[in-house]
Amino acid sequence: MAGAPGHEAARATTEFLGPPRSASSYRPFSLLELVIHEAAALLGDYPDLNGFFASGRGWRYRDIAIGFAVNAGRGLKVPVVQASHLHSRLSVARAVRELSLCYFRNELKMDDVIGGTFTVTDLSSYGVTHFIPVLNDRQAAILGICAERPGTGHQDLVLSFDHRISDGMRAAAFLGELRDHLLSTSDV
């Protein structure tokens, strides 16, 4: 969190959403699903963002397991797409949809919400055009998806990270690559 010791935030602007979707411009994957897939593909190159700080030093996870924050009146939960980096785009989408359905049916199991190494939180559907996500325990970074800024066609991605294990240049590089991957994706 900005201002907290060791925590910083970085921001990237995206332009890939454009005008609201219509039936003729249907996209098979949600932005959340695409962000999870692309972030998982990149985190192997950014192990400092896929770890945590404890006992005076940085630790890195071997696996990449991306959680996504969900709160639709049933309490905040963070279901986890285990081994996210090994999933295809379609497989990530299926996992996100299945875990979301379990959330809405109140059927999430403990195994569905543990083991996250990185989190994505999406407040775009609430019209939030900027926020700074708060780090989760035992995670070095969390990525926020903001709503489109009115009249701009731009949408921000915000990365909060633990400065004790990473730095602003690494965070900016990660966000830049993530933005480029998302912009080059034919499904957005």
| Nearest CA-CA partner of 35 in 130, 159, 171, 163 | 159
Q: What are phi and psi of 25, to 5 degrees?
A: -115, 30
Name the pLDDT band for 158 (thresholds 50, 70, 90): very high
| Active centre residues (catalytic) | 163, 167
- pLDDT (mean) for 142-153: 93
Side chain identity at residue 25, one-letter code? S
Q: Can you tell me the distance from the alpha carbon of 32 to that of 34, in angstroms, rounded to the nearest whole number?
A: 5
* CATH code of the domain made up of 7-21+28-184: 3.30.559.10
Whether 17 and 155 have beta carbons less than 8 Å apart is answered as: yes
**CA-CA distance, 172 to 185, in Å (whole number)?**
20
Q: What percentage of the chain reaches a pLDDT higher than 70? A: 84
Q: What is the pLDDT of residue 8?
A: 58
Q: How is residue 95 written in tokens?
A: 């996992």
pLDDT for 6 equals 57
Tell me the domain boundaries of the chain.
7-21+28-184
Average pLDDT, the chain: 88
Identify the bridge partners of residue 121 per DSSP, sorted by sequence position.
144
E-assigned strands of 42-140?
51-54, 57-60, 66-68, 80-81, 118-122
Per the document, the length of the chain is 188
**143 touches 35 (CB < 8 A):** yes
How far apart CA 133 and CA 176 sit, in angstroms, is 18
Give the global pTM: 0.85
Mean pLDDT of the 123-149 span: 95
Mean pLDDT, residues 75-97 taken together: 96
Instruction: Read off the pLDDT of each residue in 28-40 and give the average, rounded to a whole number.
Output: 95
Other C-beta atoms lying within 10 Å of the C-beta of residue 185: 15
Give the pLDDT band (50/70/90) at residue 14: very low
CA dist list (Å): 23 to 20, 27, 28, 51, 185: 10, 9, 12, 41, 20
List, in order, residues 6 or more apart from 75 with CB less than 8 Å away: none
Bridge partners of 144? 121, 158
Least confident range from 26-30, 32-36, 112-116, 140-144: namely 26-30
**What's residue 185's pLDDT?**
80
